Amino acid sequence: MRNIPETIKHLLIINILFFIGSQFLGGMSNDLLALHYFKNDRFIITQLFTHMFMHGNFYHILFNMFGLWMFGSPLEQMWGRRKFLFFYFSAGLGAAGLQLLAYHIEIQSVFSLLGSNGMTFQGFKEVLSSGSYNTAILQYVDEESLTSAYSAYNSSLVGASGAIYGILVAFAFSFPNSELMLLFPPIPIKAKYLVPGLILMDLFFGFSSYSLGPIAHFAHVGGAISGFLMVWYWRRNQFNNNRWN
């Protein structure tokens, strides 16, 4: 721990404390701290930040914290504490924004069919909240779309993955020829090839019906886009770097 940059160390500790605390609070921590769809009654504005410190299970936090330490450490050493923190939380907010937008588009596409046939949005919310519906609804929308809308409306977004994807993009920008060892297969690959490959995979899984599990793929893409835009802007406006000192 002595060799870990201070900001990275503090983020690691806070994430671990949140994870331990959530094990004792159970569902209450998920209701209050995980990020919910913004038209869901459980949505609280502070969840845009608190969800970044929540994780679903041990392996979720393990891989995210490993990525934060491995790729975030050289960035903090290069940028300094203030610039790194601004980048980290901005990437996390960008990730949340794109994932919420994806949820909204999915939900609205179903409501547009039901709304044109007389259903109010409040009635639609009651259907999505309860998960129960009658056969009359299925005259206007297929069950698969309704199930997807139900899942999006009741989703709980947790994890630092979106911010980590922003960090990955910044790392690939800053150290493009750094060789990273894959686990499967165990071969080295340069950061400038690995990171775009990961983003393309998330785009594929986000737009297809395939899935590797309950993963918010658009949050990953949102974090990557946010990270790219910030690094690109900073590269083109290097005279503004003094503001972070």
Render 15-68 in DSSP notation, one character per residue. Answer: HHHHHHHHHHHTHHHHHHHSB--TTSTT--TTHHHHGGG--SSHHHHHHHHHHH
Residue 192 sits in a domain whose CATH number is 1.20.1540.10
The 10s digit of each residue's pLDDT in 174-193 is 999 999 877 767 888 999 99
- The whole-model pTM stands at 0.90
Does the structure show a pLDDT above 70 at 37? yes
Of 156, 208, 180, nearest to 200 by C-alpha is: 208
Residue 1 lies in a domain: no
Lowest-pLDDT range of 34-38, 42-46, 97-101, 143-147 = 143-147
Render 113-145 in DSSP notation, one character per residue. Answer: HHHTTT--HHHHHHHHHH----TTGGGTS-HHH
Please name the helix (run of DSSP H) or strand (run of DSSP E) that holds residue 189, with its range, or none. strand 188-190
Residue 126 lies in a domain: yes
Total domains, the chain: 1
Helix pair angle (58-79, 6-25), 10° resolution: 160
Residue 20 lies in a domain: yes
Could you tell me if 33 and 22 are in contact, meaning their C-beta atoms sit under 8 angstroms apart? yes
Which residues constitute the domain of residue 17? Answer: 6-244
The 10s digit of each residue's pLDDT in 62-94 is 999 999 999 999 999 999 999 999 999 999 999
The 10s digit of each residue's pLDDT in 126-135 is 888 887 777 7
Residue 89 lies in a domain: yes
Q: Is 84 helix (H, G, I), strand (E, B) or coil?
A: helix
- Amino acid identity, residue 244? W
- 242 or 178: which carries more pLDDT confidence? 178
Residue 223 lies in a domain: yes
Does the structure show a pLDDT above 70 at 17? yes
Measured from the Cβ of residue 178, the count of other Cβ atoms closer than 10 Å reads: 16
Does the structure show a pLDDT above 60 at 43? yes
